């Protein structure tokens, strides 16, 4: 098996500010043709911003699709073909008012690969310098500072449910554990 599908037809159904929705026809390995719905997304970043005392920043904001306030790590979408490290620095500055002296790449995450091409890039930020917070004009959020072990416990208890934040907290904790073990 090659595990491959060939796009034979593609039609844009919707072009929005953030996403594009396509309906494709794809040819399978066995020659049959199937329909595929694809959401195109520019991708994004998520940042675990850590202070020397072991506290990390989260933001609370109203998330319209769920009609509720969701607690997340600082994050945001890429602006077009923007470099993801640059985007991580921008989002950290906008949402928390911090600049990272050290920014460590923790890897990428495919949040919904069955229908969406979004790629999220995860970072650990340390050696923070603080300045003014400057969120986007349509962005209203509250910044919180919580001990990282408490965030981990809240992830495990199902209190923090944003996928990119869950993955970044878990990867960040493991990175720090391995770093400490190597000393």
157 within 8 A of 81, measured Cβ to Cβ: no
Does residue 37 have an active-site annotation?
no
Query: What pLDDT does residue 35 have?
Result: 97
Q: For 24-37, what is each residue's pLDDT tens digit?
A: 999 999 999 999 99
Q: 51, 118, 137, 180: which is the annotated catalytic residue?
A: 137
Query: What pLDDT does residue 55 have?
Result: 98
- What does the pLDDT average to over 60-84? 96
Phi, psi of 135 (to 5 degrees): -65, 165
pTM of the full predicted structure? Answer: 0.95
Structure-derived torsion over alpha carbons of residues 60, 62, 68, 69, reported in degrees to the nearest 10: 10
């Amino acid at each position: 098996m090659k595990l491959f599908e060939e796009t034979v037809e593609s039609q844009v159904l919707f072009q929005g500010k953030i996403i594009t929705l396509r309906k494709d026809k794809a040819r399978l390995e066995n020659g049959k043709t199937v329909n595929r719905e694809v959401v195109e997304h520019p991708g994004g970043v998520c940042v675990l911003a850590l202070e020397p005392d072991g506290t990390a920043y989260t933001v609370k904001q109203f998330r319209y699709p769920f009609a509720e306030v969701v607690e997340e790590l600082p994050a945001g979408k890429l602006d077009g073909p923007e470099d993801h490290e640059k985007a991580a620095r921008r989002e950290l500055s906008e949402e928390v008012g911090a600049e990272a002296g050290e920014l460590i790449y923790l890897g990428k995450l495919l949040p919904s690969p069955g229908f969406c091409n979004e790629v999220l890039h995860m970072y650990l930020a340390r050696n923070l310098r603080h300045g003014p917070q400057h969120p986007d004009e349509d962005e209203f959020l509250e910044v919180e500072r919580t001990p990282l072990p408490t965030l981990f416990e809240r992830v495990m208890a199902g209190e923090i449910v944003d996928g990119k934040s869950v993955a970044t907290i878990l990867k960040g904790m493991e990175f720090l554990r391995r770093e400490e073990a190597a000393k």
